[in-house]
Amino acid sequence: MQLSLGPVLFYWTREGYADFYRDAADWPVEIVHLGETVCSRRRDMKLDDWLGIGRELEQSGKQVVLSSQTLIESEADLRGLRKLCANGEFLVEANDQSALQLLTDAGLPFVAGPALNLYNPAAIGVLARTGMQRWCAPVEMPRDDLANLLDECAREGLDQPCEVFAYGHLPLAWSARCFTARRHQYPKDRCQFVCQHYPEGLALRSQEAEGVFTLNGIQTMSGACQDLRREVPDMQSMGVGVARLSPRAANMAEVVEAFDQARRGELPPADPLALVEAEICDGYWHGRSGMANTHTVSG
Amino acid sequence: MELVCPAGNLPALKRAVDEGADAVYFGFQNATNARQFAGLNFTEKRAREGVAYARSRGKRVFCAINTYPQPAGWSQWTKAVDQAADLGVDALIMADLGLLDYAARHHPDLPRHLSVQGSATSYEALRFYHEHFGIKRAVLPRVLSMTQVRDVARKSPVELEVFAFGSLCIMAEGRCYLSSYLTGESPNTRGVCSPAAHVRWEETPRGLESRLGGVLIDRYGEGERAGYPTLCKGRFEVDGETYHAIEEPTSLNTLDLLPELRELGISAVKIEGRQRSPAYVSKVAGIWRQALDRLEHRPERFQPDPTWQAELGELSEGATTTLGAYERRWK
């Protein structure tokens, strides 16, 4: 099974991205997704900057994929998307149907991101016929449904590898509204790029101080951090091709290391490691609410 | 512009037609539609009666099969498509790529509308659905400003339908998994958001508390108007402040925008609310009928009647309405 780094969902500084990917070049991941998928106002990094990072990662032996913006709203968004799709070097991850249209229209191969809602073999078949090379399952899909789906795909000769969002805060919703700007009572158009103050998002808690969601600009993420480390052997036996690890600002090297151990069957049985300081969840995989934690992390 | 009204059951369908809907939309009694509520929706027999009722009065009927077929239930969804075709509905409202493909192959002559759950927010996205599945119309997600709607409308290859009135989803529809994160059930998979079975109300010394999936969504002091705990409309704490961190309980009302929507060439306005009572549907349909008639009569002089606004306000969540994302500063 391959490991991939998902696109960075948070808004970091130029230096932040550069440092992160310099380190990532040495990590045991085979695929790296690059690009801004959340908000068009996050403009520190231009396409050329991403391409530069991509070339370096490619030199280090990584497969580089450029991920497209998930919520496309304006002509300016479409212009950015056209440039991304026409980059001429790297495969593109389509995160919405606008990207699908541009890529299929140009006859380019692509990978399908987690928000494309591929829940059944018929939907996967449609995209397989138009050049899809790999697809990421919806974050809410339970293990048993995915096993079912993979079996059916195999029967129908749909052999494009499937990717599972295995680690990180889950991207759960996209809105026209920016919730981080709202917290600061800034209008979205003059948001002062306040997201950059929250390299791992802004916690939204219930009035009982329970972590519920993580606000990340126009995106709402899970409050807990999904960790499917322990499910890696099961994923391997089901035929999942790629486990996606979603970057966070701290301890990402340790996260990658743990998943690398897991895929080699070398995870310590009583895993001592709470990888990061965040609540852990794995409910979706087990067919429950996404926020459920079926394993209590032992100390 | 066509007035498209919700029909959660046969009485609502009849009331909507009687009050002036040009078209009504309904779903079957299972997870194939995005309003799978107990006691709601249509059996095949009821649907047949509904189609006949609307037809005999010159009105159209759309069938919503707009959830995403799950791996184990594919045949349930294709059966719904076949059933709707057999009923002779005027269009199917769908979101899933696989199901759109199925309908296009098996019932090529039955018009296909892209559901709001298909999350198409640009004309490029609409071209994708149009080129691959021959969709005739699309319902736009409630995330675009008027300027953005204008951009989409200018180059759209298909008719556009926009939300006019009712509950306000503030996330791009079809790409919101918040409900399943708290309850295991979502609009995409089960046709529900913040489902009632996971709601709990409790009187406590701190006030009336509403919970969803065990999570405290809101707490009401004395005299505060309590609302259904839709998870994005609760009061939460962010960085030391407790407030409606995502959205206030409010409804969308676009009466003021009608002249502009008409000028953009929008084909239809949609009333949300298959879960609402026949009385609600009839009242809302009646007001919107009057508004559209006045608009057609004198588009350049159109002003919504203050009594319409007042009545719609009364029928709204939290008794307040908003223009939502249509208005740039809402964002």
Q: What is the pLDDT of residues B1-49, one digit of tens each?
A: 999 999 999 999 999 999 999 999 999 999 998 888 888 999 999 999 9
- The answer to whether the CB of A10 falls within 8 A of the CB of A249 is yes
- Measured between CB atoms, does B181 come within 8 Å of chain A? yes
In a domain, B177, yes or no: no
pLDDT at residue A275 in the model? 66
Q: Does B143 touch chain A (CB under 8 A)?
A: yes
In total, chain A counts a number of residues equal to 299
Which of B185, B219, B243 is the endpoint of a domain? B243
- Asked if B97 and A118 come within 8 Å (Cβ–Cβ), the reply is yes
Establish if B224 touches chain A: CB-CB under 8 angstroms.
Answer: no
Residue A298: pLDDT above 50? Answer: no
- pTM of the predicted protein model: 0.96
The identity of residue B39, as a single letter, is G
pLDDT at B53 over 50: yes
Q: Is A23 helix (H, G, I), strand (E, B) or coil?
A: helix
| Residue A251 tokens, joined | 């301890």
B82 plus B229 within the same structural domain = no
Mean pLDDT of B205-225: 96
pLDDT tier at B72 (50, 70, 90 boundaries)? confident
B184 assigned to some structural domain = no
Of the candidate ranges B65-69, B137-141, B299-303, the one whose mean pLDDT is the lowest: B299-303
Average the pLDDT over A117-133 and give the result.
98
The answer on pLDDT for A212 being more than 60 is yes
Q: Please indicate whether, in this complex, the C-beta atoms of A145 and B96 are within 8 angstroms of each other.
A: no
**Which chain A residues are within 8 Å of B324, Cβ to Cβ?**
176
Domain contains B181 = no
Asked whether residue B206 falls in the same domain as residue B285, the answer is no
Q: Tens digits of per-residue pLDDT, A74-113?
A: 999 999 999 999 999 999 999 999 999 999 999 999 999 9
Whether pLDDT at A299 is above 50: no
Q: What is the DSSP string of B175-232?
A: S--HHHHHHS--HHHHS-SS-GGGEEEEEETTEEEEEETTEEEEEE-TTPPP----GG
Same domain, B305 and B267: yes
Of 1.10.12.10, 3.30.930.10, 3.20.20.70, 3.40.50.1980, which CATH number belongs to A2-169+227-272? 3.20.20.70
B133 within a domain of the structure (yes/no) = yes
Residue A108 contacts B where some CB pair is shorter than 8 Å: no
Please give, one letter per residue, the 3-state secondary structure of B264-315: CCCCEEEECCCCCCHHHHHHHHHHHHHHHHHHHHCHHHCCCCHHHHHHHHHC
Plot region of A262 (φ>0 → left; ψ -120 to 50 → alpha; else → beta) = alpha
Is residue A296 scored above 80 in pLDDT? no
**DSSP character at residue A147:** H
Q: Is B269 domain-assigned?
A: yes
Q: What is the residue whose two structure tokens read 């919730």?
A: A179
Same domain? B128 vs B73: yes
Domain assignment present for B188: no
- First-to-final CA distance of chain A: 28
- pLDDT range class, residue B71, cuts 50, 70, 90: confident
B119 & B50 share domain = yes
Whether residue B318 has pLDDT greater than 90: no
- On chain A, the residues whose CB falls within 8 A of the CB of B135 are none
Q: What is the structure's pLDDT at B327?
A: 82
pLDDT at B323: 86
Question: Which residues are B285's β-sheet partners?
Answer: none
Domain that holds residue B205: 193-243
Best to test chain B binding among A162, A172, A202 (most B CBs inside 10 Å): A172
Q: Does residue B300 sit at the A interface (CB-CB below 8 Å)?
A: no
Q: Give me the pLDDT at residue A270, please.
A: 65
B97 in the same domain as B162:
yes
CB spacing of B151 vs A182 below 8 angstroms: no
Using alpha carbons, list the distances in angstroms from residue B160 to A135, B113, B134, B150. Answer: 30, 9, 14, 11
DSSP state of B42: B
Q: If pLDDT is split at 50, 70 and 90, which confidence band does A271 have? A: low
Which CATH number does the domain housing residue B62 bear?
3.20.20.70
Domain count, chain B: 2
Share of chain A above pLDDT 70, in %: 96
Q: Which amino acid does the sequence have at A18?
A: A
Q: Which of A127, A143, A177, A281 to mutate to test the interface with B (most CBs of B within 10 A)?
A: A177
* B205 inside domain: yes
Name, in order, each residue with C-beta under 8 angstroms of B295's C-beta and a sequence gap of 6 or more. Answer: B1, B258, B259, B262, B302
The pLDDT assigned to A273 comes to: 59
CB atoms within 10 A of CB A89: 10
Shared-domain flag, residues B226 and B266: no
Q: Are residues B109 and B44 in the same domain?
A: yes
Sign of CA dihedral A15, A21, A25, A28: positive
In the DSSP assignment, the letter for residue B2 is: E
